[in-house]
Amino acid sequence: MASALPLGDPAPADGLLPESAAAGAADRAFGVYVHVPFCRVRCGYCDFNTYTSDELRGARQADYADHAIAEIRMSRQMLEASDLPARAASTVFFGGGTPTLLPAADLVRMLGAVRDEFGFEPGAEVTTEANPDSVGPADLARLAEGGFTRVSFGMQSAVPHVLAALDRTHDPARVPLVVGWARDAGLDVSLDLIYGTPGESIDDWRRSLDAVIAEGPDHVSAYALIVEAGTKLARQIRRGELATPSDDLEADMYELADELLAGAGYEWYEVSNWATDAAHRSRHNLGYWRSDDWWGVGPGAHSHVGGVRWWNAKHPSAYADRVTARVSPAVGREVLDAAARETERVLLLTRIREGIDLATLSASGRHAVAGLMADGLVDAKAALSGALVLTMRGRLLADAVVRRLLDESSELSSRT
Amino acid sequence: MSPRAMNPPVPAATDPALIRNFCIIAHIDHGKSTLADRMLGITGVVSDRDMRAQYLDRMDIERERGITIKSQAVRMPWQVGDTSFALNMIDTPGHVDFSYEVSRSLAACEGAILLVDAAQGIEAQTLANLYLALENDLEIIPVLNKIDLPAAEPEKYAKELADLIGGSPDDVLKVSGKTGVGVEELLDRVVERIPAPVGRADAPARAMIFDSVYDSYRGVITYVRMIDGHLNPRERIQMLSTKATHEILEIGVSSPEPTPSKGLGIGEVGYLITGVKDVRQSKVGDTVTTAARPATEALPGYTEPLPMVFSGLYPIDGSDYPELREALDKLKLSDAALVYEPETSVALGFGFRCGFLGLLHLEIVTERLEREFGLDLIATAPSVIYEVTTEDKKTVTVTNPSEFPTGTKIVEVREPMVRAAILAPKDYVGTIMELCQSRRGALIGMEYLGEDRVEIRYNMPLGEIVFDFFDQLKSKTAGYASLDYEPTGDQAADLVKVDILLQGEQVDAFSAIVHRDKAYAYGVLMTGRLRELIPRQQFEVPIQAAIGARIIARESIRAMRKDVLAKCYGGDISRKRKLLEKQKEGKKRMKMVGRVEVPQEAFIAALSGDVEKKDKK
């Protein structure tokens, strides 16, 4: 979750949603995201809303679960008061920050509050992120007992100099251990990788991919490093201490990732995500790309319900003050109009393998598909059977594809 | 000698013997306006309190740049002994682009103050104007200004001036327009040395127009110098060049505000207002006579202004095109030398092909359009007039590379030539000669002015001068060199048109007519610039330079391989959508050349040479 909050309208203190948010809700999955805004150290590339103990200004990590639980309780009341139908959570995702910096008991307690308020759908997916050096076998077992089904480890790289450039503190040798413990506890495992780190060669990257494949997780995410403004990394690049990762090298790395992962039996299902099979795709994240509904709990967390997006106060102490006073922690929101919702639908669905039903596109969007096929950006076979699915090249140029799909002044209008 | 005249002579009834008409010849920033202001103050026509800095320069641009574009005339009383005189100070434009206007202003005077900065010495343009003044038989009063400056070297430059115009260094007056030192002596010297005008009182009226200014309230204000006879209020006048007649609605003198008078007599300088709205109806150099008793012989020296330099002006925001048209229509009212016609460009959209007297004129017009009309403009590389003869013996006049004949054999291309005079400290002679030779200059001669300054004269193609020559000259001489040039005819040269192609599509704004020996360099320069400036596309884009069908230089922009946000989760979506909306807006500013999307800024930067490496990410 990016740190800078968007500009929007003020959010109402009672957390009530406009009427439009309820329309069609019964057909949309509902998820809960719980943000845990704590880290032991801040990584140089990270612009997420997270705080080390020095930065907390009196907000105490120990009280955090109580505050989050207060919001979880409020969330159910606010949805109810906004005439949203009662929906069981189909996914819960604990992200951060480093959720596992909190005692497993706190995580389980927060998850319990979600269960109390909403209930879980059968087979609900419950994930937590974890750092390889912040969990042990006992923690993982406790999480599994408490209802977690999946853990996503921030492995990032298997190469020490790359981890050092990212300020990651864990020993690469710890990854096989934590993966083993998670498996023993019965959890599904996902590994996160970052590529394009300053100083990382294509061979370094290959080593990391090989290491991941050797672990045989159920799911892999691989993200090109984003140099976010305001991060230590951005400053180091600006001062010339580190080289900007090159787009071409990143493209090579992406292609290598897809090649090696595919060879090991992983299928891409989103631009940056691969899974062994459809059952192991992250259903929580698919909810984001399908414009489903979710409530984001915690400081700076974003929520979306039926075309209304809102975001909470960023700092843990400001957040704590609001939920303690039983005031909605949301500080801003936007109510999307039909055009904005369509833009989001196209930009999000384009990213995933299930793609977009061509029949749902505008006339100019449908027309643009021919050009995209000709340029090798969308899969011709899928397009002929009615779906827009990106090719490898298309995935690397997904944003350009989206712009062409949404360009009303595309070739169609100039020809007619 | 009194600072204020007791009985100032009355306009329309002043004995020519009491009139002195003079101008000030000076280089930009040598302090002409400050001196003129000081004279207005000392003679009492402007009270010190009302004194605006640099009163005579009306336009903001002029004041900011310290140059005078439009001349005006001020009548000032001055008493020497028991006699009150009327001094007419005629302000002249200081730049070579306006040499015709300068020559007409000089023709309105009997004398000139040659004003030179005591810390800098004489400059090339001043020399050029001095030659013009001497050709007009003007009495020259040499004056060193800014003697209050610590860096002033009055002895050195007095000697330089005396060497130039003859006489003794002691005859050179030393003044400070800023402090007023020596200005009264200068006014006395004007009365003493400059001859009174002479003319025939009973002959048909003849007045020479030396300036014509558009005023949005009053229409055109025509500044004239009476030669023969008399002009009266309400009289019908005739312009000799067109025979058009107008009624004088107002006649008077400036001192310095317009003050109506009972007319103007021999040797007087003043203004006429007839209600015409376009300076083209009141042309500098034309002769004004009366409709009732017209003179038959025009005063000598009138010519139509001829544009020498052409450039396309385009609004950066294409929707400003109507505003640009309107602005040019308005500017034309006050600028008789400006010509333009609509033109379209693939790269730049709709604009106008404009003709200018020279580079400064181009710059001034562009700046006025931007400042007075709030337009953002881009100007294409300046071009000159070529005469191109093809195999079938047809000759085409080409002011725009797009008019260069294609698909036929070119027999001859003629280009305009100028005689360029460059004044600089002697240490820069080598550098300057190198530059001129690289611009196909042929040395005519070289002369020392004083001990350490040299005047270097070259025959050069005007086309080489309009393309970045002055900037180069300035930068290679630490700003010391000054340049003047005058047209001398034309010559045949081996010139070709180089086109720039983007993915096979010609980008018209970058076509240029250059010497064959430089075609390759131009091609490499432009293709290189565009490669740096045009963002990578989803496909490879070749950029080529070509003469006709022959490719002489080639670059390519590799296809973009990655354009995707790696992470797009719940909290990223609003940000991503907004970015997309912004990119969509940005696309409206993209120009399409075939399938290639080029940001307008890239074309602009490539044209202006302002190339920063694009983000290669």
* pLDDT < 70 stretches in chain B: 1-4, 47-71, 93-97, 609-617
End-of-domain residue from the set A228, A259, A289: A289
Q: B584: which chain A residues are within 8 Å (Cβ-Cβ)?
A: 403, 406-407
N- to C-terminal Cα separation, chain B: 76
Candidates A247, A248, A272; nearest CB to B567: A272
CA distances to A97, A197, A326, B459 from A50, in Å: 5, 21, 23, 72
Residue A176 belongs to a domain with what CATH number? 3.20.20.70
End-of-domain residue from the set A289, A313, A348: A289
* Tally of domains in chain A: 2
Nearest CA to A71 out of A121, A28, A33 is that of A33
- Return the structure tokens found at B385: 């007039």
Of the residues B503, B538, B557, the best mutation for testing chain A's interface (the one with the most A CB atoms within 10 Å of its CB) is: B538
CA distances to B393, B397, B410, B496 from B387, in Å: 12, 5, 11, 12
Establish if A268 belongs to a structural domain.
Answer: yes
**Whether A188 and A99 share a structural domain:** yes
**Whether A375 and A258 share a structural domain:** no
Interacting residues of B594 by C-beta distance below 8 A, sequence separation 6+: B502, B503, B504, B505
Q: Where are the beta strands (DSSP E) in A173-237?
A: 188-195, 219-224
- Return the structure tokens found at B208: 């020479």
**Whether A138 and A25 share a structural domain:** yes
- Looking at per-residue pLDDT, the higher value among A412 and B281 belongs to B281
- B587 touching chain A per CB within 8 A: yes
Q: Is the Cβ pair B562, A1 closer than 8 Å?
A: no
Q: Is the Cβ pair B574, A6 closer than 8 Å?
A: yes
Whole-number mean pLDDT of chain A? 93
Q: What is the predicted pLDDT for the residue at A48?
A: 81
Inform me whether the pLDDT recorded for A280 exceeds 80.
yes
Q: B577: which chain A residues are within 8 Å (Cβ-Cβ)?
A: 340, 343-344, 347
**Whether A397 and A248 share a structural domain:** no
Q: How many residue contacts between A and B have a Cβ separation below 8 Å? A: 108
DSSP string, B518-534: HHHHHHHHHHHHHHHHS
Residue with tokens 């890239």: B602
Q: Is the Cβ pair B566, A406 closer than 8 Å?
A: no
End-of-domain residue from the set A272, A289, A306: A289
ipTM: 0.90
Residue A365 belongs to a domain with what CATH number? 1.10.10
Residue A239, Cβ density class (10 Å: 0-12 exposed, 13-18 middle, ≥19 buried) = exposed
Q: How far is A345 from chain B (nearest CA, A)?
A: 10
Q: What is the predicted pLDDT for the residue at B66?
A: 41
Residue with tokens 């202004």: B305
Task: Give me the torsion for CA of A267, A273, A276, A277, rounded to 10°.
Answer: -80
Question: How far apart are the C-alpha atoms of B287 and B210, rounded to whole Å?
Answer: 10
Q: What is the predicted pLDDT for the residue at B94?
A: 60
- B540 touching chain A per CB within 8 A: no
Taking only the tens place, the pLDDT of each residue in B549-602 is 999 999 999 999 999 988 999 889 999 999 998 888 877 777 888 889 888 778
Establish if A182 belongs to a structural domain.
Answer: yes
Q: How far is A409 from chain B (nearest CA, A)?
A: 10
What SS3 class is residue B401? helix
- Give the sign of the dihedral formed by CA A10, CA A13, CA A15, CA A21: negative
Question: How far apart are the C-alpha atoms of B24 and B334, rounded to whole Å?
Answer: 23
Give the nearest chain B residue to A48 (CA atoms). B571
- Return the structure tokens found at B585: 């807006």
Confidence of residue A96 (pLDDT cuts 50, 70, 90): confident
Helix axes A316-324, A64-81, angle to 10 degrees: 50
Give the length of chain B.
617
Establish if A316 belongs to a structural domain.
Answer: no
Establish if A327 belongs to a structural domain.
Answer: no
**Whether A224 and A147 share a structural domain:** yes
Q: What is the predicted pLDDT for the residue at A407?
A: 83
Interacting residues of B511 by C-beta distance below 8 A, sequence separation 6+: B401, B402, B404, B497, B498, B499, B500
**Whether A131 and A69 share a structural domain:** yes
Establish if A141 belongs to a structural domain.
Answer: yes
**Whether A246 and A350 share a structural domain:** no
Q: What is the predicted pLDDT for the residue at B606?
A: 84
**Whether A107 and A204 share a structural domain:** yes
Q: Which conformational region is residue A142 in: left (phi greater than 0), alpha (psi within -120 to 50 degrees), or beta? A: alpha
- Are A179 and A217 a contacting pair, CB within 8 Å? yes
- A8 touching chain B per CB within 8 A: yes
Q: How far is A281 from chain B (nearest CA, A)?
A: 15
**Whether A284 and A363 share a structural domain:** no
Q: What is the predicted pLDDT for the residue at B95?
A: 62
Q: What is the predicted pLDDT for the residue at A416?
A: 30
Q: What is the predicted pLDDT for the residue at A95?
A: 95
- A353 touching chain B per CB within 8 A: no
Burial profile B284-321: b = 16 or more Cβ within 10 angstroms, e = fewer: bbbbbbbeeebbeebbeebeebebbbbbbbbbbeeebb
Establish if A134 belongs to a structural domain.
Answer: yes
Of the residues A47, A268, A343, A395, the best mutation for testing chain B's interface (the one with the most B CB atoms within 10 Å of its CB) is: A343
Q: Look up residue A331 and give its amino acid.
A: V
**Whether A72 and A154 share a structural domain:** yes
Give the nearest chain B residue to A250 (CA atoms). B562
- B617 touching chain A per CB within 8 A: yes
Q: What is the predicted pLDDT for the residue at B63?
A: 46
Helix axes B429-438, B469-476, angle to 10 degrees: 160
**Whether A44 and A187 share a structural domain:** yes
Inform me whether the pLDDT recorded for A411 exceeds 60.
no
**Whether A39 and A130 share a structural domain:** yes
Question: How far apart are the C-alpha atoms of B228 and B200, rounded to whole Å?
Answer: 5
Q: What is the predicted pLDDT for the residue at B48?
A: 58
Q: What is the predicted pLDDT for the residue at A396?
A: 97
Domain that holds residue A377: 339-415
Q: A296: which chain B residues are within 8 Å (Cβ-Cβ)?
A: 570-571
Mean pLDDT of A73-89: 97
Establish if A192 belongs to a structural domain.
Answer: yes
Establish if A378 belongs to a structural domain.
Answer: yes
Task: List the domains of chain B with CATH numbers.
Answer: 16-193 (3.40.50.300), 206-290 (2.40.30.10), 309-379 (3.30.70.870), 386-493 (3.30.70.240), 496-608 (3.30.70.2570)
